[in-house]
Homo-oligomer: A and B are copies of this chain.
Amino acid sequence: MGGWLRIAGLGPGAEAMVTPEVSAALAEATDVVGYVPYVERVPPRPGLTRHGSDNREEIRRAEQALQMAADGHRVVVVSSGDPGVFAMAAAVFEALEAGEPAWSSLDIQVLPGISAMLAASARVGAPLGHDFCCINLSDNLKPWALIEKRLRLAAEADFAMAFYNPRSRARPEGFGHVLQVLREACGPQRPIVFARAVSTPEESVRVTTLGEADVEMADMRTLVMVGSSQTRRLERDGQPWVYTPRSAP
């Protein structure tokens, strides 16, 4: 009965980075569903119900959103950044596949957003300007051995790298291992960028080297980037620019 589901990215934080497509979906929604701090980014208004839930409840949240859309609601599932990069889109499709057969005929669209990786990269220049990879460092959903294998192969491939969720409460020592593996594989001079809460009032960005990097430079809101062997540092007043040239030898 006219219900639909949109899985939308709110971008990294600033209103000025929310796409008009996402704003339009939110303006038409009857229900917004997501992790509490993201749902709170959508201002309350009459006719809109905001359903905030805990970080770990992704599948339950996805099921709730699918069922509301099946019941005729206009539902937006919100993620920070882009919904397709370590966010709610995969969870919704997992729930869809495992759930009610009727859900498969729902009107569903994914609306992209400015990912944390793109926002962080823009702040410091163009560290992802050449081939790169993107790895979620949380070991909640995969074994540490797989993370380490991917780090070593990414270094061998000489990718620039973007890392999400560098520090989880469940395993605070994990990021120290990551830095150790990268130092061995890439050497201590390799540039590393810690970009925290980009485009929010709490934004802070630090550019350093793997040799100088410390686990305390990252928290749960930090996006970490490591350059390839070609990545360059360009001094200016304040924080240097970091960029990876378009060509590789």
List A residues at the B interface (Cβ < 8 Å).
9, 11, 14-21, 24, 58, 82-87, 89-94, 96-97, 104-105, 109-115, 118-119, 121-123, 125-136, 141-143, 146, 149-150, 153-154, 156-159, 232, 234-237, 241, 243-249
10 contacts between A and B (CB under 8 A): A92-B126, A112-B122, A115-B118, A128-B134, A130-B136, A131-B134, A141-B247, A146-B158, A149-B157, A150-B159
Chain B residues positioned under 8 Å from A156 (CB to CB) = 153
Chain B residues positioned under 8 Å from A142 (CB to CB) = 247-249
Contact A236/B104 with A125-B110, A136-B131, A149-B157 known, Cβ cut-off 8 Å: yes
A19 & B24 in contact (Cβ 8 Å cutoff): no
Chain B residues positioned under 8 Å from A109 (CB to CB) = 122
Chain B residues positioned under 8 Å from A146 (CB to CB) = 158, 248
**CB nearest neighbor in B for A104:** B236
CA distance A134 to B112 in the complex (A): 17
Chain B residues positioned under 8 Å from A105 (CB to CB) = 236-237
Chain B residues positioned under 8 Å from A83 (CB to CB) = 122, 126
**CB nearest neighbor in B for A91:** B246
The smallest beta-carbon distance between A21 and chain B, in angstroms, is: 4
CA distance A215 to B94 in the complex (A): 31
Chain B residues positioned under 8 Å from A16 (CB to CB) = 19-21, 24
Contacts beyond the supplied A15-B20, A58-B246, A113-B118: 4 A-B pairs with Cβ under 8 Å: A85-B129, A87-B129, A142-B247, A153-B153
Among A83, A246, A247: residue with most chain B CB under 10 A? A246
Chain B residues positioned under 8 Å from A245 (CB to CB) = 90, 94
CA distance A16 to B8 in the complex (A): 13
B247 & A125 in contact (Cβ 8 Å cutoff): no
A93 & B131 in contact (Cβ 8 Å cutoff): no
A150 & B122 in contact (Cβ 8 Å cutoff): no
CA distance A18 to B22 in the complex (A): 11
Contact A90/B129 with A112-B121, A154-B157 known, Cβ cut-off 8 Å: yes
